[in-house]
Amino acid sequence: MEANKRLLALDVFRGITIAGMILVNNPGSWGSVYPPLEHAEWHGCTPTDLVFPFFLFIVGVAIPLALGKRKERGDDRKSIYLKILRRTVLIFGIGLLLTAIPRFNLATLRIPGVLPRIALVYGACSVLFMQTGWKGLVRWSIGLLLGYWAVMTLVPVPGGYPPNLDPETNLGAWLDRTIFTTDHLWRQSKTWDPEGLLSTFPAVVTGLIGMLTGLWIKTDRDDYRKLTGIFAAGVILVAAGLLWNLAFPINKKLWT
């Protein structure tokens, strides 16, 4: 597959995702929103819950396309890492700026958020791309998912709570309150944040899956093999997610 075709496919997918985001954020009337345009209340998944993961997947796909040639040429690693750092800080900073507008108040500025999470996922995935190959990315993906599952379901929550996945008493919510305090969390809840720190780790895996897809697209295989390979991997991962859902419920806010 030619480079321009790969980029066209990615741009089309990005455009569809942005259109979905606009539709979700501007449904016309908040008093009569179609159920598919609403987030799941807690456990579960609606089409709306796929929009943000799609963005992180797209970020992951783009990384091998953007950094691959520089890595293959053996360009100076320091300059590459500085570029990654600058972009990470820029995206994170824009996220904080948009949160602060129009009524800036440092005392209640929300620190976690959509763009800060995109920044962290981009930075982590880019560094891993520079440090390891596709097998390493697979190992990191499995390790992060299993580690997150173990922490969320096996580690007691300080304050006397057993391991749980409830909104206010899960370990991730406790960690966010401890690090950011309730003044800097999502204003709709104040006690937990859907883009919290701990759930960023499995969000990184969404980016890693995108990176693995990007690496697969860059191979010399013909288009049919690439397409069927992506389809097969998608079916396997969806089946694995549905099976794991029986023990570790699908939850976009926890990014399970």
Q: What is the pLDDT of residues 185-221, one digit of tens each?
A: 998 888 999 999 999 999 999 999 999 999 999 999 9
Which residues are known to be catalytic? 39
Say yes or no to pLDDT of 75 above 70.
yes
Judge whether 97 lies within some domain: yes
What is the reported pLDDT for 239? 97
Judge whether 28 lies within some domain: no
Mean pLDDT of the chain: 93
Q: What is the mean pLDDT of residues 34-52?
A: 93
Q: How far is CA 104 from CA 95, 96, 101, 107, 108, in A?
A: 13, 10, 6, 9, 9
- In sequence order, the 6+-apart residues with CB closer than 8 A to the CB of 209 are 57, 60, 141, 237
Q: What is the residue whose two structure tokens read 């419920």?
A: 249
Judge whether 76 lies within some domain: yes
What is the reported pLDDT for 6? 55
Instruction: Name the domain count of the chain.
Output: 1
Judge whether 134 lies within some domain: yes
What is the reported pLDDT for 190? 85
Q: Please tell me the distance from the alpha carbon of residue 206 to that of residue 83, in angstroms, as a whole number.
A: 22
What is the reported pLDDT for 27? 78
Retrieve residue 80's tokens. Answer: 């590459």
Residue 64 domain boundaries: 55-244
What is the reported pLDDT for 48? 95
What is the reported pLDDT for 230? 96
Q: Pick the most confident of 68-77, 94-103, 155-164.
A: 155-164
Least-confidence region, from 16-30, 89-103, 140-154, 195-209 = 16-30
Q: What Rg, from alpha-carbon coordinates, does the chain have?
A: 19
What is the reported pLDDT for 35? 84
Q: How far is CA 233 from CA 78, 172, 198, in A?
A: 34, 29, 26
What is the reported pLDDT for 144? 98
Judge whether 196 lies within some domain: yes
Which SS3 state, helix, strand or coil, does residue 161 take? strand
Say yes or no to pLDDT of 5 above 90.
no
Least-confidence region, from 121-130, 186-195, 244-253 = 186-195
* % the chain with pLDDT above 90: 83
Judge whether 172 lies within some domain: yes
Judge whether 126 lies within some domain: yes
Judge whether 42 lies within some domain: no
What is the reported pLDDT for 102? 84
Say yes or no to pLDDT of 51 above 90.
yes
pLDDT digits (tens, 9 = 90+) for 173-189: 999 999 999 999 998 88
The alpha-helical segments, DSSP class H, found in the chain are 3-25, 51-73, 77-100, 114-131, 134-154, 171-180, 200-217, 223-244
